[in-house]
Amino acid sequence: MVNCLENLQKKMDMLTKTKIKEVIENFPEEISIDDFIDKLVLIEKAERGNIQSENGEVFSEEELEKEMEKWFK
């Protein structure tokens, strides 16, 4: 079980070379290093969110409303 969780964590922490190549193809011809890094971080976070969603690691609307109530007390 631990190996399975470790493998999932590694998968969630990495972008594939193929995905990075796809993203780079859509970048403008000139891009700053800061913008490049920001876009890669955004893509990694979106990929992580997709994996979490596929694994059922999501909040229901009711759970979200309860959590938000705590934030605004």
Residue 14 has pLDDT above 60, yes or no: yes
Contact 70, 41 (CB under 8 A): no
Contact 58, 52 (CB under 8 A): yes
Residue 59 CB neighbours (<10 A):
11
Cα 7 from Cα 43, distance rounded (Å): 20
- Chain segment 21-70, per-residue pLDDT in tens: 888 898 889 999 999 999 888 988 888 888 888 888 888 899 999 999 99
- H/E stretch holding 27 reads none
pLDDT at 1: 43
Contact 19, 43 (CB under 8 A): yes
